[in-house]
Amino acid sequence: MSNRTSNATMNPPLWLSALVLLGCFTLMQVLFAGWITPKAEAVLMAQGSQSLSSIWVILKDMEQQICFSLLFYCLFLMGYKLWRLLDEEAIYTCDFLADYDKSKPLDIDIALNELESSTFCENPAMLTWINCIRRYKNTRNVQHAASAIAASVDSLAAQLESGNNMIRYIIWAIPSIGFVGTVRGIGQALAQADKALAGDISGMTASLGVAFNSTLVALFISLILMYFMHLLNSRQDSMVLKTQESCERHLLAHLHQ
């Protein structure tokens, strides 16, 4: 378990994100230049127009390369968040004041000082406890403390939601990149309309293949990412609910005297 958490959004550090993004594009460039593009060219030379359904031909274009680069970068972002959620899962159900006897009045100052000096004091779950105890210290009202729990949990949910903005943008951008490939392919096909009228439709067929293949690959990748995004959102919602449940079950029990 991590000794300290950096933020409630659970995003990786900026330097790490930039490094992984560069690594994804570099890896895809090497993969496409050294393997996929040569395979596609060999298939095209051997089979001509009959090769348009080949997986290598479908994957060979620039738009597909960009989409795959963003796919692996997005999977890294979601994987990092899921790792953080699993790594800190025990914290969200923990009774941070388990050493205190619930049948006796809680020493607010000592409990608050203990939580604030903890190595987990920046964890969203413990921050919720700290905010609640601070509210109780100021008001001596359990209902006000419960309201602080609700406000902190809502804030946590909002931070987690905002932390997913980059992932949502990439999932939106990938089909858009596919549509860019579609426009490019149709433009190339129209530019070869004269050859098609003269009887040579091979160039137009290849260009239309670019158009439809880029959209096909982009939509397929988007479907994959949406599934993993659903899993991530489910885990985040579960974490928020566990935080609220832990506060209501354990913390309010210490305050009800």
Name which of 116, 131, 145, 114 is nearest 253 in CA terms. 145
Q: Report pLDDT for 6.
A: 45
**15 occurs within a structural domain:** no
Torsion on CA atoms 56, 35, 64, 209, rounded to nearest 10:
-30
Q: Give, to the nearest 10 degrees, the angle between helix 62-87 and helix 165-191.
A: 170
**84 occurs within a structural domain:** yes
Residue spans of beta strands (DSSP E) within 120-222: none
Cα→Cα distances 12→59, 71, 86, 232, Å? 30, 17, 15, 15
Query: Using 50, 70 and 90 to split pLDDT, how confident is the model at 4?
Result: very low
For the chain, how many structural domains are there in total? 1
**21 occurs within a structural domain:** no
Percent of the chain scored above 90 by pLDDT? 30
Residue 2 pLDDT greater than 80, yes or no = no
**254 occurs within a structural domain:** yes
**1 occurs within a structural domain:** no
Average pLDDT over residues 146-150: 85
Question: CA 2, CA 6: separation in Å to the nearest integer?
Answer: 10
Q: Report pLDDT for 150.
A: 86
Cα 66–Cα 78–Cα 125 angle in degrees, nearest 5: 155
Residues of the domain holding 218: 71-257
**10 occurs within a structural domain:** no
**49 occurs within a structural domain:** no
Confirm if 11 and 162 have CB atoms less than 8 A apart. Answer: no
Q: Is 55 exposed, middle or buried (0-12, 13-18, 19+ CB in 10 A)?
A: exposed
The token pair that represents 7 in the structure block: 């933020």
Average pLDDT over residues 177-201: 73
**208 occurs within a structural domain:** yes
Q: Report pLDDT for 203.
A: 60
- pTM, two decimals, is 0.83
Cα→Cα distances 168→40, 54, 175, 209, 224, Å? 32, 31, 12, 28, 13
Q: Report pLDDT for 192.
A: 72
